[in-house]
């Protein structure tokens, strides 16, 4: 449904929905307006088991480990605010983590006397083992929680979450994997990762309506998990607690089985993932060469999903010290929508690759930035 007046290279932020998905949600919304009591109450009670079970199969987990929420922020809030932390506990997080999630860590630390310990992971990153070593070296006897992104937002690097979960949990450290970008981008087998909690968004790379996300919890810990919003279901088990968090738009959750089937039948999930990964890896190499910048992850794409982050050429960084004006300039003067990120004191540009993108999109970006760089 994207307008054809813009070269859209930012699927990663909020996703984008196929017309069929939008129309499906619109039909569900009409049902809600025709008979709200039936659609929000009775229908959802009846449908939730099958919604949860179709998503569990897609994610490689068990239905009774899975809960639905509206977005990754809500998932992280539910988990972190369910923890009982004590003064001196350390919450460990790499500096590639998403800003809003970092703020939630700060909030719970402030309320409990725990501390947030940020581990600097310098770029370029050469391989997974380097990431494991850096994060492992930052663990101490006081580390209670490791929060690790599966695919990072500012740097678009795929972290070795299975290896990190194994190392941390062997030391008694809880592991929360923020997989906001992972479903639909990576071939996900959540249970095989072995995290205490795995969370993800569905409105990014699964292309559901906005407002669909999930938490998968280790069965041993599920009794202590509560949603960020406490409602009727309190103390009736996680399924009751998460299924009803008050009046809200349930059509994104209700659309999940439709989207999973529809994309499978139109393109196939494996094909879509393969296409997007190949396109992102190709764009990564092409842009590094065009702008003569060093890559921050291997050029073979081994640490990429379907996004790639590049350093902006030095001369552009000199003239645009802030991200806002450069983003707006690309959008307003060149009709290119692409995120410019500030991270580790530098400016970066991140491209996404989704089925609607074409090689010309990235070549246009390459040319525009090369000319701007002078
Ligand atoms: C890694 C990561 N975590 C969390 C979020 C927050 O997602 P939401 O805004 O859907 O809560 C994002 C959003 O882009 C993200 O990239």
CATH classification of the domain holding 179: 3.40.640.10
| DSSP sequence for 2-15 | --TTSEE--HHHH-
Residues 104 and 185 in one domain: yes
Asked whether 112 and 98 are in contact (CB, 8 A), the reply is: no
Residues 163 and 203 in one domain: yes
Residue 303 clears pLDDT 70, i.e. is over it = yes
pLDDT reported for residue 310: 98
Answer yes or no: is 130 within a domain. Answer: yes
Mutate to test the pocket of ligand 1, among 72, 186, 207 (most ligand atoms within 8 A of CB): 72
Q: Is the pTM of this model over 0.75?
A: yes
Residues 255 and 290 in one domain: no
Residues 240 and 280 in one domain: no
- Find out whether the beta carbon of 185 lies less than 6 Å from any atom of ligand 1: no
Residues 243 and 273 in one domain: no
Q: Rounded to whole angstroms, what are the CA distances from 236 to 16, 67, 242?
A: 36, 14, 10
Mutate to test the pocket of ligand 1, among 75, 95, 100, 198 (most ligand atoms within 8 A of CB): 100
- Provide the angle, in degrees to the nearest 10, between the axes of the packed helices 256-266 and 43-59: 40
Residue 321 clears pLDDT 80, i.e. is over it = no
Residues 128 and 241 in one domain: yes
Residue 275 clears pLDDT 90, i.e. is over it = yes
Residues 248 and 150 in one domain: yes
Residue 291 clears pLDDT 80, i.e. is over it = yes
- Find out whether the beta carbon of 352 lies less than 6 Å from any atom of ligand 1: no
| DSSP sequence for 215-262 | EEE-GGGGGG---SS--TTTTS-HHHHHH-SSS---HHHHTHHHHHHH
Give the single-character DSSP code of 71: S
Average pLDDT for 200-227: 98
Percentage of residues in the chain having pLDDT higher than 70: 99
pLDDT reported for residue 251: 98
The mean of the pLDDT values for the chain is 97
pLDDT reported for residue 316: 85
pLDDT reported for residue 254: 98
Residues 249 and 316 in one domain: no
Answer yes or no: is 118 within a domain. Answer: yes
CA 211 to centroid of ligand 1, rounded, Å = 12
CA 297 to centroid of ligand 1, rounded, Å = 21
The count of domains in the chain is 2
Provide the pLDDT confidence category of residue 84 given band limits of 50, 70 and 90: very high
Average pLDDT for 103-109: 98
Per the listing, tokens 């300039």 go with: 329
Answer yes or no: is 103 within a domain. Answer: yes
Residue 345 clears pLDDT 90, i.e. is over it = no
pLDDT reported for residue 319: 75
Residues 115 and 168 in one domain: yes
pLDDT reported for residue 374: 81
Domain boundary among 263, 286, 313: 263
Answer yes or no: is 2 within a domain. Answer: no
CB-count exposure of residue 366 (10 Å: 0-12, 13-18, 19+):
middle
Select the more confidently predicted residue: 342 or 138: 138
Answer yes or no: is 1 within a domain. Answer: no
CA 185 to centroid of ligand 1, rounded, Å = 14
Domain boundary among 263, 293, 327: 263
Average pLDDT for 5-29: 98
| Omega prior to 325 cis, within 30 of 0 | no
Per-residue pLDDT tens digits for 221-240: 999 999 999 999 999 999 99
Provide the pLDDT confidence category of residue 258 given band limits of 50, 70 and 90: very high
Taking alpha carbons only, the member of 245, 227, 243, 246 closest to residue 81 is: 227
Residues 55 and 118 in one domain: yes
Domain boundary among 205, 238, 263: 263
Answer yes or no: is 304 within a domain. Answer: yes
- Find out whether the beta carbon of 11 lies less than 6 Å from any atom of ligand 1: no
Residue 202 sits in which domain range? 20-263
| Stretch among 16-30, 319-333, 347-361 having the lowest mean pLDDT | 319-333
- Find out whether the beta carbon of 149 lies less than 6 Å from any atom of ligand 1: yes
Mutate to test the pocket of ligand 1, among 15, 98, 213 (most ligand atoms within 8 A of CB): 98
Q: How far apart, in Å, do the first and last CA atoms of the chain sit?
A: 35
Residues 107 and 170 in one domain: yes
Average pLDDT for 297-316: 95
Taking alpha carbons only, the member of 109, 157, 156, 103 closest to residue 132 is: 157
Give the tokens for residue 46: 């009846």
Average pLDDT for 238-258: 97
pLDDT reported for residue 322: 62
Per-residue pLDDT tens digits for 31-71: 999 999 999 999 999 999 999 999 999 999 999 999 999 99
CA 13 to centroid of ligand 1, rounded, Å = 8
Residues 157 and 69 in one domain: yes
Bridge partners, residue 115, by sequence: 90
Bridge partners, residue 143, by sequence: 90
Residue 306 clears pLDDT 90, i.e. is over it = yes
């Amino acid at each position: 449904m994207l307008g054809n007046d813009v070269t859209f290279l930012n699927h990663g932020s909020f996703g984008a929905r196929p017309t069929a998905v939008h129309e499906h949600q619109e039909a569900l919304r009409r049902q809600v307006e025709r008979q709200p009591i039936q659609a929000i109450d009775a229908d959802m009670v009846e449908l939730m088991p099958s919604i949860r079970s179709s998503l569990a199969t897609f994610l490689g987990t068990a239905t009774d480990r899975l809960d639905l929420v509206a977005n990754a922020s809500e998932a992280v809030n539910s988990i972190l605010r369910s923890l009982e932390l004590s003064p001196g506990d350390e919450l460990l997080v790499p500096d590639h983590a998403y800003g809003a999630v970092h703020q939630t860590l700060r909030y719970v630390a402030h309320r409990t006397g725990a501390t947030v310990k940020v581990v600097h992971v310098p770029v370029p990153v050469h391989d997974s083992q380097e990431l494991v070593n850096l994060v492992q070296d930052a663990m101490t006897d006081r580390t209670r929680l490791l929060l690790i992104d599966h695919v990072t937002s500012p740097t678009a690097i795929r972290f070795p979450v299975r290896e990190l979960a194994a190392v941390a949990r062997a030391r008694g450290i809880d592991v929360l994997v923020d997989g906001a970008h992972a479903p639909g981008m990576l071939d996900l087998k959540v249970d095989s990762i072995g995290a205490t909690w795995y969370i993800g968004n569905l409105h990014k790379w699964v292309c559901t309506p906005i407002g669909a996300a999930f938490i998968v919890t280790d069965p041993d810990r599920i009794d202590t998990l509560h949603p960020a919003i406490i409602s009727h279901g309190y103390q009736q088990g996680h399924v009751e607690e998460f299924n009803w968090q008050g009046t809200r738009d349930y059509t994104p959750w209700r659309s999940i089985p439709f989207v999973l089937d529809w994309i499978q039948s139109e393109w196939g999930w494996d094909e879509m993932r393969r296409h997007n990964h190949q396109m992102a890896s190709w764009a990564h190499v092409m842009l590094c060469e065009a702008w003569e910048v060093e890559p921050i992850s291997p050029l073979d794409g081994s640490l990429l999903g379907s996004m790639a982050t590049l350093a902006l050429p030095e001369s552009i960084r000199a003239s645009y010290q802030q991200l806002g004006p450069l983003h707006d300039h690309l959008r307003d003067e060149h009709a290119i929508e692409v995120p410019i990120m500030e991270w580790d004191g530098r400016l970066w540009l991140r491209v996404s690759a989704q089925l609607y993108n074409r090689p010309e999109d990235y070549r246009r970006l390459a040319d525009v930035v090369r000319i701007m760089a002078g």
